[in-house]
Structure 1
Amino acid sequence: MDITGSVTLTIVICISCLLFYSALKTRGRRGNLPPGPTPLPFLGNLLQLRRGELVESLIELSKTYGNVFTVYLGMRRVVVLKGYQSVKEALVNQADDFSGRGEVPTFDTAYKNYGVIFTNNMERWRQLRRFSLVTLRDFGMGKRGLEDRIKEETQHLISELRKTKGTMFNPSVHLSLASCNIISSIMFGDRFEYDDKELLSMIHVIHESFELISSVWGQMYEILPGLMKHLPGKHHQIFRDLEILIAIIEKRVEMSRRTLDPSSPRHYIDTFLIKMDKEKQNPDTEFTMPNLLCTAAQIFFAASDAPSITLTYGFLLMLRYPEIQERVQEEIGRVVGQNRTPNIQDKSEMPYTDAVIHEIQRFTDLAPFGAPRAVTRDILFQGYTIPKGTNVFAMLGTVLKDPECFSDPDNFNPKNFLDESGGFKKSDAFMPFSAGKRNCLGEGLARMELFLIFTTILQSFNLKSALPPEEIDITPNVTGMGNFPRFYNMYIESR
Structure 2
Amino acid sequence: MWTQAILLVVLVCLLGLHFLNPFQARKKYPPGPPVHLVAVKFIQARFRIHPDMFAETAKEYGNIYTVWVGSTPVVILSGFHAMKEGLIKHSEVFSGRPVTPFYQAIVNEKGIVFSNGHTWKQQRKFGIATMQKLGMGKESVQSQIEDEARQLMETFARTKGQPTDPSLPIFNSLCNVICALVFGHRYSVDDEEFLKLLDAMEYNMKFGGTFFHLMYEVLPGLMKHIRWPYKAVFNAVDVVLSHAMKETEAHRAQLAVHDPRDFIDYYLLQMEKSKNDPTSTYDDANLFQCISDLFTGGTDTTSATLQWALLLMVTHPDIQEKVQKELEDAFGSSQNISYQDRKKVPYTFAVIHEIQRFKCILLTGNPRLCMQDVTILGAFIPKGTMVVPDVHSVIYDPEIWETPRMFNPNHFLDQDGKFVNREEFLIFGAGARACPGKAMAMMELFTFFTTLLRAFTFKLPEGVTEVSSEPVKGLTISPGPYKLCAIPCFSDS
Deviation at 1:228, TM superposition (A): 3.6
Q: 1:468 to 1:326 in 2, by over 3 A?
A: farther
Deviation at 1:236, TM superposition (A): 4.2
SS of 2:195's equivalent? helix
TM-score w.r.t. length of structure 1? 0.90
Q: Is the 8 A contact 1:52 1:215 kept in 2?
A: yes
| Deviation readout 1:288-345 (Å, 9 max, x if unpaired) | 1111111111111111111111001110111111111111111111111211232212
Task: Give the structure 2 partner of residue 492 of structure 1.
Answer: 486
Deviation at 1:235, TM superposition (A): 4.8
Q: Which runs of 5+ in 1 are unaligned?
A: 1-15
Question: In angstroms, what is the RMSD of aligned CA positions?
Answer: 2.2
1:153 partnered with 2:153: no
Q: Which one of the candidate residues 161, 164, 167 is aligned to 1:172?
A: 167
Separation in 2 of the partners of 1:203 and 1:284? 35
Q: Is the 8 A contact 2:21 2:71 kept in 1?
A: no
Task: Give the structure 2 partner of residue 91 of structure 1.
Answer: 87
TM-score w.r.t. length of structure 2? 0.91
Deviation at 1:49, TM superposition (A): 3.1
Task: Give the structure 2 partner of residue 183 of structure 1.
Answer: 178
Q: 1:482 to 1:20 in 2, by over 3 A?
A: closer
Separation in 1 of the partners of 2:315 and 2:182? 36
Q: 1:240 to 1:74 in 2, by over 3 A?
A: farther
Deviation at 1:222, TM superposition (A): 3.8
Task: Give the structure 2 partner of residue 266 of structure 1.
Answer: 261
Q: Which one of the candidate residues 42, 49, 54 is aligned to 1:49?
A: 42
| Deviation readout 1:179-207 (Å, 9 max, x if unpaired) | 11111111111111122222222222112
Deviation at 1:25, TM superposition (A): 3.4
Separation in 2 of the partners of 1:295 and 1:471? 41
Q: Which one of the candidate residues 198, 204, 222 is aligned to 1:203?
A: 198
Task: Give the structure 1 partner of residue 9 of structure 2.
Answer: none
Q: 1:21 to 1:373 in 2, by over 3 A?
A: closer
Task: Give the structure 2 partner of residue 399 of structure 1.
Answer: 394
Deviation at 1:164, TM superposition (A): 1.5
| Deviation readout 1:134-193 (Å, 9 max, x if unpaired) | 101000102121111111221122122212122221111111111111111111111111
- The aligned length equals 473
Aligned residue identity for 1:49: F
| Deviation readout 1:352-397 (Å, 9 max, x if unpaired) | 1111100110011111313210111111122222111110110112
Q: Is the 8 A contact 1:102 1:371 kept in 2?
A: no
| Deviation readout 1:198-248 (Å, 9 max, x if unpaired) | 222222211221122133433444444444444466554322211111111
Q: 1:442 to 1:104 in 2, by over 3 A?
A: farther
Task: Give the structure 2 partner of residue 438 of structure 1.
Answer: 433
1:240 partnered with 2:258: no
Aligned residue identity for 1:363: F
| Deviation readout 1:421-448 (Å, 9 max, x if unpaired) | 2221221110111111101111110000
Aligned residue identity for 2:39: L
1:109 partnered with 2:102: no
SS of 1:80's equivalent? strand
Q: 1:226 to 1:327 in 2, by over 3 A?
A: farther
1:355 partnered with 2:331: no
| Deviation readout 1:31-54 (Å, 9 max, x if unpaired) | 4321113447xxx95345333244
1:481 partnered with 2:475: yes
% of aligned pairs identical?
34
SS of 2:51's equivalent? helix
With 457-466 and 224-233 compared, the bigger mean Cα shift is at 224-233
Aligned residue identity for 2:59: K
Q: Which one of the candidate residues 208, 212, 216 is aligned to 1:213?
A: 208
Task: Give the structure 1 partner of residue 303 of structure 2.
Answer: 308
Deviation at 1:24, TM superposition (A): 5.9
Separation in 2 of the partners of 1:78 and 1:252? 39
Q: Which one of the candidate residues 298, 322, 325 is aligned to 2:320?
A: 325
Separation in 2 of the partners of 1:146 and 1:307? 16
Q: Is the 8 A contact 1:322 1:469 kept in 2?
A: no
Aligned residue identity for 2:433: R
Q: Which one of the candidate residues 124, 140, 154 is aligned to 2:135?
A: 140
